[in-house]
Chain A
Amino acid sequence: MRIVVGVKWVPNTQAVRIDPETGTLIRKGVPSIVNPHDLPAVEAALRLRERVGGEVIVVSMAPPPAVKGLELVLGMGADRAVLVTDRVFAGADTWATSYVLSRAIQKISAEIGRVDLVLFGHETIDSSTSHVQAQVASWLDWPYVYYVSSIEPLGDNAVRVERELEEYEEEYVVELPAVVSIAIKAMKPRPVSLQSKLRAKLERRIITWTNADLKLDPRCVGLKGSPTVVAKTVDMPEVPRKKEVYRPRDPKDAARWIIRKMVEDEKLREVMKGIVGDEL
């Protein structure tokens, strides 16, 4: 089975700080990482390969420093990586991202070998849209399914997946080729082996494709090819709140202050009524 895993190189949003003076984001010096939600998808691919054989290819549309992230994923055991990188791809929204990724997947199919399965993470930590999976499935005209917590091979031509909706657990058989989106924390990603990471580096198992290779119309990629446009940004409007802060003498005092608020505040009174009844 030839499995492609889509992995994004993202700014470590946990490290983004807010400038207390200006209230703006400090992005400078923020390190990038492999999107953590993509690692369970890599793990799922490696487990499938262990059971049925084949090859795991990681693909990322990203600027050149993403090579570092791809080396990590190769260190987990992926067979090769394709870095799709070009200045014209910059500023892409999810539509333009999915366009480039699906063309890259088709090129892998044509030049490396038929792709049977494409796995994605649930969402990226910097945009959290979960769009790319369905968009790629639409470009490829393949069946697809989200929120998958487990995936099992079913012969050569299908997989059985389990997935969770708000109130249902479902099981599907999906014919290959297909796109599957792996749920957050569905599988614990294995650690990176320094040895395999080094070996991958020596064997130069990262291929780089630019738009000279993909030959996409520049009007369809990057910022130009993005149907969505950010018209403006404004500060998030503040919700008016009472902002009463109390420094209690002791814990009991704190508890009583809160309880008093639950009687005096007309809204919270409803909650207290739920406890002592309507005669309050």
Chain B
Amino acid sequence: MMKMDCEKLCPEWPCEPPEEYKDVWVVVEAEEGKLSEASLQMLTPGRAIADKLKENLVGVLLGYGVSQLAEEVIKYGADRVIVVDDERLSTYYPRVYGSAVVELAKKYKPSVILVAGTRRGREFAPYVANSLKAGITADCTDFDVDETTRDVLLIRPPFAAILLAYIKTPFRRPQIGTARPNVFPVPKRDEGRRGEVVLERVEIGQESRMKLISRRKVEKARAGVEKASVIVSGGRGIGGPEGMEMLRRLAELLGGTVGASRKAVDAGWADHEMQVGQTGKSVKPILYLAVGISGSAQHMLGVREAQRIVAINIDPEASIFSQADYSVVGDYREVVPALIEELEKIRKGGVKALREILES
């Protein structure tokens, strides 16, 4: 940490020595009596930062009827959980939820606050940051600690995604960051792990200027790309919506779902929810099959966690070939139907059919 010269800083910022701030917080969202997987994932980088700083990892759990979930947060790696179980938090409003976090942060002075980049997280986190007059870094892909200054480095790709920027907030605490779901794994659950649960109260009133009128769960007809173990993704090279249908058939045969590049989404062939990449979803399938996708840095950022990438592209110079495990040079209009045909045989004939194909 640099020496503070309050005269040089914006007077909007409270000039407080950063040494007063301790511990790494992860705001843990709960919905319908369950912890959100995306927030559990944030305990992974949270634990790593806390260990580097030799500070505690603290889960912050807000809601109504959430107390019984506190022990779970500890089993996933927290040392302590601060719980606010309050009827006024039974309906989520960004300002109510955000203000509750702000109040707790003013009392406890954490040095770091991590928030999962779910839709809600992305909505309330910048409110928390601004209300604390602190900086915030969105969509981090990694974190580190500067050993000399003890500043946390919030690492994220700027728009080109070929670089990683190391961002810090040397004069402000807490240091706040979000990460998209699936960028980090859920930590291992340790049944025997013990920790402290602190019940807290907050002053915040009910949101009186905004009211939830209705809420309904939308049954997503097709499994989302986030959870799929096989994804067949189409890019601009598929040339139209019919191409997407062909990929859907292939995905079905492989027991997976379909994804898309941004160009395929922009062309209207695929839903935004299916977009993979920096401004879409981060995915972690066993098999990612990229069809008619060139391999832009922004797209590939979303598939870093894929175990295997297979590409089909007509252009022998396509940059995806140097970023995939197995690539076939060819026109997908020929290769994909052939693949569908063989897989149909295998679906029908099982191992025997598979052997025949391999031996021929």
Contacts and interface: CB of A to CB of B under 8 A. Distances in A.
B166 A234 contact: yes
Which size class do B's interface residues fall under? 35 or more
B140 to A, nearest CB: 11
Given A129-B139, A246-B326, A259 B346 contact: yes
A274 B124 CA distance: 40
B129 A135 contact: yes
B308 A279 contact: no
Interface stretch (A40-48, A111-119, A172-180): A172-180
B217 A236 contact: no
Interface in B316-349: 316, 321-330, 334-335, 337-339, 341-343, 346-347
A230 interface: yes
B215 A169 contact: yes
B11 interface: yes
Interface in A240-280: 241-248, 251-252, 254-263, 265, 267-268, 270-272, 274-277, 279-280
Nearest to A132: B126
B341 A255 contact: yes
Interface stretch (B40-48, B49-57, B114-122): B114-122
B307 A267 contact: yes
A255 B280 CA distance: 29
Contact of B335 (A131, A173, A254, A262): A254
A195 interface: no
Interface stretch (B70-78, B103-111, B157-165, B233-241): B157-165
Contacts of B347: 275
B190 interface: no
B94 interface: yes
Interface stretch (A53-61, A82-90, A207-215, A221-229): A221-229
Nearest to A242: B325
A219 B327 contact: no
B138 A130 contact: yes
B300 to A, nearest CB: 8
A232 B321 CA distance: 30
B10 A217 contact: yes
A137 interface: yes
- Chain B binding surface, main DSSP class: mixed
The 6 A-B residue pairs with the shortest CB-CB distance, nearest first, are A227-B135, A220-B10, A251-B338, A134-B126, A138-B130, A228-B135
B222 interface: no
Nearest to B123: A146
Contact of B350 (A217, A237, A270, A277): A277
A173 B138 contact: no
B343 A225 contact: no
A123 B135 CA distance: 18
A232 B146 CA distance: 12
Interface centre among A166, A235, A263 (most CB of B within 10 A): A166
B153 interface: yes
Contacts of B351: 276-277, 279-280
